[in-house]
């Protein structure tokens, strides 16, 4: 296993749609293992999608407090309810925003052995699943920020989303 670099906001790979995994090869298993190591080394965050480490495949690892979840080719089959909450992203370090998501989600996926399974989540788990699946579709949490403001994690200073995007792109 090896820790991988997480791509920062502004990297064009983050806006691309990831391709399905056609076959569970040793390379995909290594990707899962590396992503798990990267996730746990990344300051206790909840999830990581393969595009965030530069791989355009539909692979996610998550730990939203109830143990490791690995998803290969996840697809949302049902959304219901509504929740407002705070979201942040490893590709957008130092900032968070308020995002509206479904409160309950049901997905289908494959596990690392290629076996299909269904996963239902609500609350924080549902938020994490939606956030990470968005990454597979080239969508970032900043696309959903409801009031167009982000907040700096340390200072809590309110910053216009467009200003953060501009500053981040200048640093890329």
128 falls within a domain: yes
Is 27 or 171 the better-scoring residue by pLDDT? 27
Q: Is the pLDDT of residue 167 over 80?
A: no
Active-site annotation holds for 132: yes
Q: Measured between alpha carbons, how far is 2 from 28 in angstroms, rounded to an integer?
A: 13
Residue 45: which of 86, 98, 90 has the closest Cα?
90
Q: Domain residues for 105?
A: 12-169
Place of tokens 């899962």: 32
161 falls within a domain: yes
83 falls within a domain: yes
Give the mean pLDDT of 71-76.
Answer: 98
pLDDT digits (tens, 9 = 90+) for 82-115: 999 999 999 988 889 999 999 999 999 999 999 9
**Residue 104 CB contacts under 8 Å (≥ 6 apart), including other chains:** 78, 79, 80, 81, 120, 121, 122, 126
4 falls within a domain: no
Is 167 or 112 the better-scoring residue by pLDDT? 112
pLDDT digits (tens, 9 = 90+) for 40-66: 998 766 999 999 999 999 999 999 988
Q: Is the pLDDT of residue 134 over 50?
A: yes
Q: Measured between alpha carbons, how far is 36 from 32 in angstroms, rounded to an integer?
A: 6
The CATH code of the domain that includes 86 is: 3.90.45.10
Q: Is the pLDDT of residue 168 over 60?
A: no
Query: What was the pLDDT predicted at 96?
Result: 92
Query: What was the pLDDT predicted at 157?
Result: 85
136 falls within a domain: yes
By the 8 A CB rule, do 87 and 64 touch?
Answer: no
108 falls within a domain: yes
Q: What residues are designated binding site for Fe cation?
A: 89, 131, 135
Number of domain units in the chain: 1
7 falls within a domain: no
Residue of 23, 75, 132, 153 with catalytic role: 132
By the 8 A CB rule, do 103 and 123 touch?
Answer: yes
User: What's the chain's average pLDDT?
Assistant: 92
CA distances from 58 to 10, 48, 128 (A): 20, 11, 15
Residue 171: which pLDDT band, with cuts at 50, 70 and 90? very low
125 falls within a domain: yes
Stated pTM of the model: 0.92
Half-sphere exposure of 133 (CA within 13 A, CB side): 20
Half-sphere exposure of 55 (CA within 13 A, CB side): 19
């Amino acid at each position: 296993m090896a820790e991988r670099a997480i791509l920062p906001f502004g990297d064009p790979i983050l806006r691309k749609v990831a391709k399905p995994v056609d076959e569970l090869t040793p390379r995909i298993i290594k990707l899962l293992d590396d992503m798990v190591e990267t996730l746990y080394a990344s300051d206790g965050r909840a999830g990581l999608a393969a595009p965030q480490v530069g791989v355009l495949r539909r692979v996610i690892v998550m730990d939203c407090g109830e143990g490791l979840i690995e998803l290969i080719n996840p697809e949302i089959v049902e959304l219901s309810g509504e929740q407002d909450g705070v979201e942040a992203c490893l590709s957008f370090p130092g900032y968070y925003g308020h995002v509206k998501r479904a409160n309950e989600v049901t997905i289908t996926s494959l596990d690392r052995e290629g076996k299909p399974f269904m996963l239902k989540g609500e609350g924080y788990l549902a938020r994490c699943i939606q956030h990470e699946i968005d990454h597979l579709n080239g969508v970032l949490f900043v696309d959903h920020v409801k009031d167009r403001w982000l907040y700096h994690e340390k200072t809590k200073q309110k910053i216009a989303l467009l200003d953060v995007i501009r500053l981040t792109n200048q640093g890329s």
